[in-house]
Amino acid sequence: MLHVPYKGAGPGLTDLLGGNLQIAYYTAVAVLPHVKSGKLRALGVTTEKRVDAFPNAPAIGELVPGFAAEHWYGLWGTPGTPKDIIARVNKAVGIALQAHDLRERIIADGFTPAHTTPEEYRKRLEKDVARWKDVVKKANIRIDVIG
């Protein structure tokens, strides 16, 4: 398998759809319409469990229990943001994620809605960074910077 770096998801996805690539790794939201239309086939997902958007695609966690390479999103603020502001925003996000319409939209886009505390999110971030830093070092992976 040959790694081909692209300057973004758009050009790579265009080449995948055009038959110039045989396999690629993209976020769910980028490929979901193409999988639904039959233009692409989901070979698997990098989560611990299967995701609703790709019910027939096996999860890496099924093959390697406990392993996952998941995307996660969070809200960020500038250093020194007052703790009461952080708490209010976090509470508002938690309430918003309980709204049926928003949850359904997030799921339809191939994501799993989840809410956590800023401290739990920080711990998750630190754990993932440490794990992938170790993988990059052990595998002697070189980062190609394009453009």
Q: What is the pLDDT of residues 4-56, one digit of tens each?
A: 888 888 999 999 999 999 999 998 889 999 999 999 999 999 989 998 889 99
In a domain, 99, yes or no: yes
Distance CA(49)–CA(47), nearest Å, equals 5
In a domain, 36, yes or no: no
For 57-95, give one letter per residue: b (16+ CB within 10 A) or e.
Answer: bebbbeeeeeeeeeeeeeeeeeeeeeeeeeeeebeeeee
For the CA atoms of 1, 43, 23, 74, what is the dihedral angle to 10 degrees? -100
In a domain, 55, yes or no: no
Neighbouring C-alpha atoms within 13 Å toward the C-beta of 104: 3
pLDDT at 5: 84
In a domain, 87, yes or no: yes
The pTM for the full model equals: 0.71
Distance CA(47)–CA(142), nearest Å, equals 24
How many domains does the chain divide into? Answer: 1
**What mean pLDDT is predicted for residues 120-146?**
87
The whole domain housing 109 covers 72-147
**What mean pLDDT is predicted for residues 59-85?**
90
pLDDT at 145: 67
SS3 59: strand
In a domain, 93, yes or no: yes
In a domain, 47, yes or no: no
- Phi, psi (deg, nearest 5) at residue 45: -125, 150
